[in-house]
Amino acid sequence: MKAFSIEELRRKAKRRLPRAVFDFIDGGAEDERTLRENRAAFERVRLTRRVLAGVAQVSTETTILGKPSRLPIAVAPTGAMGFGWRGGDVAVAKAAAAHGIPFSLSAAATASIERIAEQAQGRHWFQAYFFRDREYSFGLIERARRAGYDTLMVTVDLPVGGKRERDFRNDFGIPFRFTPRNVLDFATRPAWALDMLLRGVPRLENLAGMAARGASTRDLASSVGRDHDSSLDWELIRRVRDAWPGKLLLKGVVHPADAERAVASGCDGVIVSNHGGRQLDGEIASFDALPQVVRAIGGKASVLMDGGVRRGADVLKALARGAEAVMVGRATFYGVCAAGEAGARLALDILAEELARTMQLCGARRVAEIGPELLQG
């Protein structure tokens, strides 16, 4: 398979998947203003370059949360990946390992915590949601600890689910609710539909135990956020800190005061993120929120950024604004949906090559040389 950009992988994924499944991956909340703004924020900022910098060789190697990484990139947690490509979670984890970068597993993944640890090498992070059954969430965290995950991220921007209107229009839920509209949609992609019919619909493996405790999987996931704990507060974060021995991140921070409080609560870092535009429509773009969070933390903890990264130049821009690394979710999701593990690897290949080329064109030989002087706007 050939593709020269993340957008080309997106188009290939769109051609392969039913509309409902693609829209679940691709869409945002309400009018999708935040979704669009995540891209527009990068496009507003221009690069300025230095010349005669001796860039015959550049290095994209860096450290993320104190450990080496071949790229200043980590794979963001993406739920329900197996609906786009069976075994997609493992495929993306393997692609991340091949590139020497961290892979984050969503609590709502279609692969279990243990299966990722057993079938994919590399550095594993676990993303925890807190459900109304808090002890079940703590049980997932303990499973991640036992499986050797070195970093825990708690997603804090989902007290309730965003209004994702594409899913409503497509009658999309997890598990699938078969209606005349979506059955016709699934039939337009017979290879995908036949696989689901013959091999069954993938399960949200980490949440299977919750169904056994009295909640159906439909109740857990068909309306995103329905079973999430909207009473989550800072006291619970302190309890998580006491329970988790590794690195702890809060994902979904855009306000500097929240970033400061995260550090005061014992977090090792924050991820500046608006959930890819899938929650609060009309809020600030992650890239625009990044500088104020960096200033608030003042080097006392790590700052990562998630949202809208589609080019290697976007990675450089985020680093120039003070991010330690970026997270990519849709980029590898598009890749795996287009062509499985090979597609996920290609997505990371594209970003890695573009980052190295942009560094050369800007006159930065190492990640440490990427700073605000390379940006205008």
Measured in degrees and rounded to the nearest 5, phi and psi for residue 340 equal 65, -150
Annotated catalytic residues are 275
How much is the pTM?
Answer: 0.94
What was the pLDDT predicted at 213?
A: 53
Q: Which CATH homologous superfamily contains domain 6-376?
A: Aldolase class I (3.20.20.70)
What DSSP letter does each residue of 260-274 carry, written as one string?
A: HHHHHTT-SEEEEE-
- 69 pLDDT tier (thresholds 50, 70, 90): very high
| % of the chain residues with pLDDT over 90 | 86
- The helix (H) or strand (E) run that includes residue 236 is helix 234-243
Torsion over CA of 202, 208, 212 and 218, rounded to 10 degrees?
A: -60
Q: Which residues lie closer than 8 Å to 70 by C-beta, 6 or more apart? A: 60, 61, 99, 100, 101, 352
What was the pLDDT predicted at 214?
A: 46
Given the structure tokens 């956020």, which residue do they identify?
225
Map residue 171 onto helix, strand or coil: coil
* Distances 65 to 123, 139, 302 between C-alpha atoms, Å: 12, 24, 7
Q: For the chain, what is the mean pLDDT?
A: 94
What was the pLDDT predicted at 175?
A: 67
Question: How do the domains of the chain map onto residue ranges?
Answer: 6-376
pLDDT at 105 over 90: yes
pLDDT tens-digit series, residues 121-142: 999 999 999 988 999 999 999 9
In whole angstroms, give the CA distance from residue 320 to residue 69.
18
What was the pLDDT predicted at 232?
A: 87
| C-beta neighbour count of 1 within 10 angstroms | 12
3-state helix, strand, coil in the chain (%, to 5): 50, 15, 40
pLDDT tens-digit series, residues 137-196: 999 999 999 999 999 999 999 989 999 999 999 988 876 677 888 888 999 999 999 999
What was the pLDDT predicted at 226?
A: 59
pLDDT tens-digit series, residues 24-63: 999 999 999 999 999 999 999 999 999 999 999 999 999 9
In whole angstroms, give the CA distance from residue 288 to residue 277.
13
Q: Which residues lie closer than 8 Å to 216 by C-beta, 6 or more apart? A: none
